[in-house]
């Protein structure tokens, strides 16, 4: 079993919350309009070059932060799927574990992770019952 099987739902929720708090907005860097003036004593051409350079740095940092957040999201998702597979047992396939998660998420995400967990608990209990009782 993977790492998710060994974690508690509280620990997974903590990882989920950390991932959700990750920002994709760079700190100390902002996109500026094309007519922005960095230095009035410099030429128009120089200011345009600085705008282009600044905005490229900004876009690059946004892309890096998005990639970082996507990796964290994928990691948390894998923990959740592994935990569902472990709790249901019966060699539950990844595809079926994903279906359980997707349903719980769809039903509960508007009210936060706690509500998703409540719905998930019900669906896991149902899956265990349908698959033949205890793990």
pLDDT value at position 73? 96
Share of the chain above pLDDT 70, in %: 97
Summarised one tens digit per residue, pLDDT across range 73-116 is 999 999 999 999 999 998 999 999 999 999 999 998 888 888 99
pLDDT at 21 over 50: yes
pLDDT value at position 3? 82
Share of the chain above pLDDT 90, in %: 84
The pTM assigned to this predicted structure is 0.82
Following DSSP, what letter does each residue of 57-87 receive, concatenated? HHHHHHHHHHHHHHHHHHHHHHHHHHHHHHH
pLDDT at 1 over 70: no
């Amino acid at each position: 079993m993977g790492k998710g099987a060994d974690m508690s739902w509280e620990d997974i929720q903590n990882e989920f919350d950390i991932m959700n708090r990750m920002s994709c907005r760079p700190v100390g860097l902002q996109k500026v309009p094309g007519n922005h003036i960095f230095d009035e004593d410099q030429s128009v051409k120089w200011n345009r070059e600085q705008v282009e350079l600044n905005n490229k740095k900004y876009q690059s940092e946004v892309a890096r932060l998005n990639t970082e957040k996507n990796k964290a999201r994928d990691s948390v998702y894998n923990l959740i799927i592994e935990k569902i597979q472990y709790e249901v047992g019966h060699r539950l396939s990844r595809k079926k574990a994903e279906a359980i998660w997707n349903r719980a998420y769809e039903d509960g995400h508007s009210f936060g992770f706690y509500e998703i967990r409540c719905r998930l608990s019900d669906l896991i209990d149902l899956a265990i019952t349908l698959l033949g009782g205890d793990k």
